[in-house]
Structure 1
Amino acid sequence: MEWGPAYSMVMTEACAQVAGVHDRMPVILRHETWPDWLDSPPDDARLLCQPYPADVTIRQTANPRVRR
């Protein structure tokens, strides 16, 4: 079997702006930290797994994400 493009989402605790929506959020990496994420030992890269330190804007839509 051949795989196409794939990704994985790494989660961390929510930052202040996201906490009202959910208790966790994806890890968001600044461009300058990409080499640390991609080329460092796992323990060093893990240090980047923290809530995003800058302001985050939350925009909710009327479209449901989950069907119950």
Structure 2
Amino acid sequence: MSLSEIPISDAGFRHGVGVFETVRVKEGKARWREWHLESIRESAQVLGLKISEKELDKVPSGFGLW
């Protein structure tokens, strides 16, 4: 399956199910990143959503200051 394909059986697609986290950023750095990633993993599991470590690795640990 390519990245542009979502199976019709996907709960996120069918029912709008998803997971998000609010992360505190201080001086351009995300705080408690690993804790938040674990929370995302656990929430996705409870909801029956598949999330790959490859996707989680894309979550930035820092942000530019605007």
TM-score range, shorter chain: under 0.3
TM-score normalised to structure 1 length: 0.25
Name the larger-Rg structure.
Answer: 1
TM-score normalised to structure 2 length: 0.26
Name the one with the larger helix percent.
Answer: 2
